[in-house]
Amino acid sequence: MLKILENIQLKPYNTFGISAVAREFAEIRSKDDAIELVKSGVLKGKLHLVLGGGSNILFTGNFDGIVINVLNKGIQLIEEHDDYVLVEAAAGEVWHDLVMWTVAQGWGGLENLSLIPGSVGAGPVQNIGAYGVELKDCFHSLKAIDLETGKEIQFNKAECSFGYRDSIFKRELKGRILIHAVTFRLSKRPQLKLGYGAIKQELEFTGINKPTVAEVSDAVCRIRRSKLPDPAITGNAGSFFKNPVVSATSAKILQNQYPGMPVYPQPDETIKLAAGWLIEQCGMKGYREDDAGVHPKQALVLVNYGNASGFGIISLAGKIQNKVLERFGVKLEMEVNIF
């Protein structure tokens, strides 16, 4: 029998470490728990939030509804072929544990996504990405429960409408489904992606010139540990803003004004700018207002130095957006989910 808890403090459930109280709270440990929750009718007429590891969320006040924490576990090989495998993972698995499991088998695909916090189930929601790889590159399908009907629905890759840190689950289906399992297609003959950020230098530095998936994963972990704040020590939700994508013409105008500005041409001829660089140019890197701050090593990450409120963080985010808009004419869109 599924238990609904009341008045639960959410501070341990979000990596920003923000205090907020959920009026109700349910733990989902299986697909059947999710179906029971919907069929019981307790969600009817209530605000609800499906929560994984809380590493991409900012609470700006108490949550006057029901938080549904997905905790189901299990990773299994479901198909093996000559050159690829299909692996299904329960949504409540820790993402990095899944990556480590696949890396240990020598299967390629997820190694560049090592050490991203959070759960497997949240991965497809924002099509997590790092070091030139996105979840969609290895995605096969997912299974979800419709939070209105309690029915199971399956989504293939095309049906997820994956985009840059984006999917149908962040837009049309926002809050309408609970993902309970995700299947990945991984390669038995990995094609490693090393040409992004500091991976190559890190491997060269350690004298590795023909890396394995495990060595790439280790390199990614080392780079991330050296640059990013550990939420266990300093509250944060990773990049607070998405990197803005602008037209080639707008990028050219900005480049004439700011010749040192990094630009990343996209396959559709638009240009991705580095939001962290734009924020830094506005003098905001390391900036702090009470306990809300901009990380001194990575300006894209907003941090809670201890007792910041969600309101404090969102006010700081607004200030950054205004400064970047004033100086560069570029609107920064938030990547973190605000509740």
Provide the annotated active-site residues. 165, 239, 335
Rounded to a whole number of angstroms, the minimum distance from the CB of residue 76 to ligand NAP is 28
Contact residue for ligand NAP among 243, 304, 309, 337 (CB under 6 A) = 243
Q: How far apart are CA 179 and CA 141, in angstroms?
A: 11
Which ranges constitute the DSSP H helices of 79-149?
Answer: 95-105
3-state helix, strand, coil in the chain (%, to 5): 25, 30, 45
Contact stretch for ligand NAP (CB under 6 A) within 20-28, 69-77, 238-246, 286-294: 238-246
Q: Does 303 bind ligand NAP (CB under 6 A)?
A: no
**Residue 221: in which H helix or E strand, if any?**
helix 213-227
Binding ligand NAP (rule: CB under 6 A), the pick from 43, 85, 99, 130 is 130
With binding defined as CB under 6 A, does residue 235 bind ligand FAD? no
Q: How far is the CB of 282 from ligand FAD (least distance, A)?
A: 22
Return the range that interacts with ligand FAD (CB under 6 A); candidates 4-12, 45-53, 207-215, 320-328: 45-53
The strand pair at 48-51 and 63-70 is best described as: parallel
**Residue recorded with tokens 């989902």:** 28
Q: According to the binding rule CB under 6 A, does residue 51 interact with ligand FAD?
A: yes
Rounded-to-integer distance, Cα 253 and Cα 115, Å: 37
Q: Does 225 bind ligand NAP (CB under 6 A)?
A: no
Contacts of 217 (CB under 8 A, 6+ apart): 99, 100, 103, 111, 114
Q: Using CB under 6 A, which residues numbered 281 to 300 contact ligand NAP?
A: 298
Instruction: Give the shortest CB-139-to-ligand NAP separation in angstroms.
Output: 17
Rule CB under 6 A: say whether 35 interacts with ligand FAD. Answer: no
Stretch that binds ligand NAP, among 4-12, 86-94, 123-131, 304-312 (CB under 6 A): 123-131
Sites for ligand FAD among residues 124-183 (CB under 6 A): 125-126, 128-130, 165, 169, 177-179
Which residues lie below 8 Å from residue 249, measured CB to CB, with a gap of 6+?
none
Considering only 108, 118, 293, 312, the residue that binds ligand FAD (CB under 6 A) is 118
Q: How far is the CB of 209 from ligand FAD (least distance, A)?
A: 26
Distance CA 26, CA 151 (A): 19
Closer Cβ to ligand FAD, 56 or 141, answer by number: 56
Kindly give, in sequence order, each residue whose CB lies less than 8 Å from that of residue 145, ignoring residues fewer than 6 positions away.
31, 34, 35, 38, 151, 152, 153, 177, 178, 180
Q: Which stretch binds ligand FAD (CB under 6 A): 38-46, 120-128, 151-159, 213-221?
A: 120-128
Hey, CA dihedral for 292, 115, 49, 300, is it positive or negative?
A: positive
> How far is 15 from 100, CA to CA, in rounded Å?
21
Footprint of ligand FAD on residues 69-88 (CB under 6 A)? 70
CB of 258 to ligand FAD, least distance (A): 26
Q: From CA 117, how far away is CA 253, in angstroms rounded?
A: 37
Query: Phi and psi at residue 322, in whole multiples of 5°?
Result: -65, -45
Give phi and psi for 164, each to the nearest 5: -70, 110
Among residue numbers 199 through 228, which ones bind ligand FAD (CB under 6 A)? 228
Residues at the interface with ligand FAD (CB under 6 A): 15, 49-57, 70, 91, 116-119, 121-123, 125-126, 128-130, 165, 169, 177-179, 228, 231, 236-238, 337
Residues at the interface with ligand NAP (CB under 6 A): 129-131, 196-197, 227-228, 238-239, 243, 264, 274, 276, 298, 335
